């Protein structure tokens, strides 16, 4: 792949990136969240066409305009969550995308061929069994078998080990080695440093959509790779102003939820911003959801404003003064066809009623207009559906909505994802202002400079576990990323 570029709206996801894969090599791709790994996969599998650049296979340029073209060129991908069809048998799943000339299924041959492929991989699976009920690892095996049945040349493995047990990881590596011997080129993407060093032949690092380095594994050290991944300047765009740290507002001890996270312990003081850092799959959002009562925790103690609480529903969380602004504006944050006003008042509609449940439109609109001014939401009227606003302005509407609840603790989940630099600066200014007013803030963000710039303290998570807490003075990009990757 040469000179690949891809832009989404305002973000340059990939910029002039080149990468070569050789037959029979396992090539690891490393990078922080947002480094462009997923975009590269999508380009290689034909989901998104690149804006610029060319892709060559066997030295011949190929076009990958859709997933079917990628498939016919022998490029396949398996993901952390396998995409099998649960009601079809293993054999049907393997051969699902094959086109046969006959309209009838030759079941005998189908099963025989499936068994052949699985034998070639040295795995034992009943090909007649439906995929439902298979373990995640077995489902991945089915996906790999499917790729092989399609004469795979290039296999992309995107975080394949994230949900596997240690034993299953061994099995998967054995499979990968088998494929390597057969001359398949494997692109292996993982946040687990030790796995990368165990299996990869070469290691490439991306950062912020750019290619940084490609080196043989023997020349790479974990520290060196982490430096490559973070080696950027932090500009003072994200400076948090120093605020007086007040009394303890929230105290979380050993918070846990089965199969999700465990042993989460931290405090948030009034006027303090606590960042939750980690890579994809660190389960930071789950902690936020637990504190807001959407997906309550199973174990652990939460003390809020001096009182022990068990938060089991969003209504309850709002009542005691906790608000949660979701990362997913579209699905969870806003009601798109509703107006700015209606969205802002939604959680607090009770405060805007005359008797008999009649809405006081005047008061409601007044609040909306106050927030429009305070957060500089750019819209001519507050009566337009929020669907029509830009991402940054939608984000401000969502912040308004939660500020209107007058929370003591505000959980912000990726508050600046997908919004432009100007709007981002405004959101950061807002966070500063709120902290000065004595709010406690939990900032969940995958944007490393943002977390480091805005947080007084940073809790680093990795796969549902707390890896450490760093004060602003202690935190460097290297220490945080090392902790997030389990190298701390």
Partner 1 sequence: MGQTLRRHFRPEQIRELSLVFLILGVLVFFSTQIPNYLSPRFFNRIASDVAIIAVVAIGQTLVILTRNVDLSVGSIVGVTAYVVGTFLTGNHELHPVLAVAMAIAIGAVLGTINGVLIAYGRVPAIITTLGTLAIYRAALVELSGAKTVVIDAMPRWLQELPGVTLASFAGLDVRLLVLIALAAVIIFQLVLSFTNLGRRLYAVGSNPDGARFAGLPSEQVVFIAFVLCGALSGLAGFMFLARFGNITVVAAQGMELQVIAAVVVGGVAIFGGQGTIIGALLGALLINILQQSLIRWISISAFWIDALLGALILAAVAADALILGRLRNLWARSEVQMTEADEKRVVGADVPK
Residues that bind partner 1 (CB under 8 A): 292, 294, 313-315, 317-318, 324, 326, 331-338, 342, 346-347, 349-350, 353, 356-359, 361, 373, 376, 378-380, 384, 387-390, 401, 422, 425-426, 429
Query: Smallest distance, Å, CB 131 to partner 1?
Result: 24
Query: Smallest distance, Å, CB 359 to partner 1?
Result: 6
Residue 56 CA to residue 75 CA, distance in Å, equals 12
User: Which candidate, 397, 393, 300, places its Cα nearest to that of 345?
Assistant: 397
Residue 3 CA to residue 19 CA, distance in Å, equals 9
Query: Smallest distance, Å, CB 283 to partner 1?
Result: 18
Distances (CA, A) of 373 to 175, 390, 400, 417: 59, 17, 11, 22
Token code pair at residue 160: 């394949």
User: Which candidate, 120, 33, 125, places its Cα nearest to that of 84?
Assistant: 125
Query: Using the 8-state DSSP alphabet, how is residue 331 labeled?
Result: I
Q: Which residue number, 17 or 323, has a Cβ lying nearer to partner 1?
A: 323
Q: Which residue number, 267 or 433, has a Cβ lying nearer to partner 1?
A: 433
Query: Smallest distance, Å, CB 143 to partner 1?
Result: 29
User: Which candidate, 205, 200, 210, 202, places its Cα nearest to that of 225?
Assistant: 205
H-helix segments, 404-476: 421-436, 448-454
The three-class DSSP label of residue 89 is strand
CB 407 within 8 A of CB 239: no
Burial of 385 (0-12, 13-18, 19+ CB in 10 A): middle
Q: Which residue number, 168 or 426, has a Cβ lying nearer to partner 1?
A: 426
Q: Which residue number, 62 or 405, has a Cβ lying nearer to partner 1?
A: 405
Q: Which residue number, 289 or 485, has a Cβ lying nearer to partner 1?
A: 289
Query: Smallest distance, Å, CB 277 to partner 1?
Result: 23
Which element (helix H / strand E) includes 93?
Answer: helix 90-95
Query: Smallest distance, Å, CB 133 to partner 1?
Result: 23
Q: Which residue number, 101 or 350, has a Cβ lying nearer to partner 1?
A: 350
Q: Which residue number, 209 or 415, has a Cβ lying nearer to partner 1?
A: 415
Query: Smallest distance, Å, CB 183 to partner 1?
Result: 46
């Amino acid at each position: 792949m040469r000179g690949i570029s891809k832009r989404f709206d305002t973000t340059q996801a990939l910029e002039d990136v080149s990468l070569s894969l050789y037959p029979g090599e396992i090539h690891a791709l490393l990078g922080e969240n947002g480094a462009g790994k997923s975009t590269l996969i999508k380009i290689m599998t034909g989901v998104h066409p690149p804006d610029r650049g060319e892709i060559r296979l066997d030295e011949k340029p190929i076009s990958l305009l859709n997933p079917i073209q990628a498939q016919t060129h022998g490029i396949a991908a398996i993901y952390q969550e396998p995409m099998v069809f649960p009601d079809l048998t293993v054999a049907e799943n393997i051969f699902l995308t094959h086109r046969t000339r006959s309209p009838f299924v030759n079941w005998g041959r189908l099963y025989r061929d499936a068994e052949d492929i699985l034998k070639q991989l040295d795995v034992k699976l009943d090909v007649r069994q439906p995929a439902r009920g298979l373990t995640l690892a077995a489902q991945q095996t089915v996906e790999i078998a499917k790729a092989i049945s399609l004469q795979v040349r290039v296999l992309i493995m995107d975080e394949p080990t994230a949900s596997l047990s240690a034993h299953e990881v061994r099995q998967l590596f054995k499979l990968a080695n088998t494929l390597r011997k057969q001359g398949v080129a494997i692109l292996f993407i993982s946040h687990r440093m030790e796995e990368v060093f165990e299996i990869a032949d070469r290691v490439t690092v991306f950062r912020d959509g750019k290619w940084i380095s490609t080196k043989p594994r023997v020349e790479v050290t974990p520290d060196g790779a982490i430096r490559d991944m973070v080696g950027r300047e932090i500009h003072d765009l994200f400076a948090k102003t120093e605020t007086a740290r007040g009394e303890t507002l929230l105290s979380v001890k050993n918070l846990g939820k089965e199969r999700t996270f465990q042993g989460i312990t931290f405090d948030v003081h009034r006027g303090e911003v606590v960042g939750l850092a980690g890579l994809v799959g660190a389960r930071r959002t789950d902690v936020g959801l637990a504190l807001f009562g959407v997906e309550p925790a199973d174990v652990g103690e939460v003390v809020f404003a001096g009182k022990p609480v068990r938060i089991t529903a969003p209504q309850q969380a709002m009542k005691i003064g906790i608000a949660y602004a979701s990362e997913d504006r579209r699905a969870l944050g806003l009601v798109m066809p509703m107006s700015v006003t209606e969205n802002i008042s939604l959680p607090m509609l009770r405060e805007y009623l005359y008797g008999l449940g009649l809405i006081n439109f005047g008061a409601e609109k007044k609040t909306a207009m106050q927030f429009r001014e305070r957060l500089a939401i750019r819209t001519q009227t507050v009566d337009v559906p929020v669907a029509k606003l830009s991402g940054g302005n939608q984000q401000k509407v969502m912040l308004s909505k939660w500020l209107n609840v007058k929370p003591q603790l505000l959980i912000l989940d990726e508050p600046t994802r997908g919004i432009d630099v100007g709007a981002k600066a405004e959101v950061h200014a807002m966070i500063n202002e709120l902290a000065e007013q004595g709010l406690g803030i939990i900032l969940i963000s995958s944007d490393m400079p943002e977390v480091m710039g805005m947080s007084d303290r940073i809790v680093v998570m990795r796969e549902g576990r707390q890896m450490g807490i760093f004060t602003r003075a202690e935190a460097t990009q290297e220490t945080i990323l090392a902790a997030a990757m389990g190298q701390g």
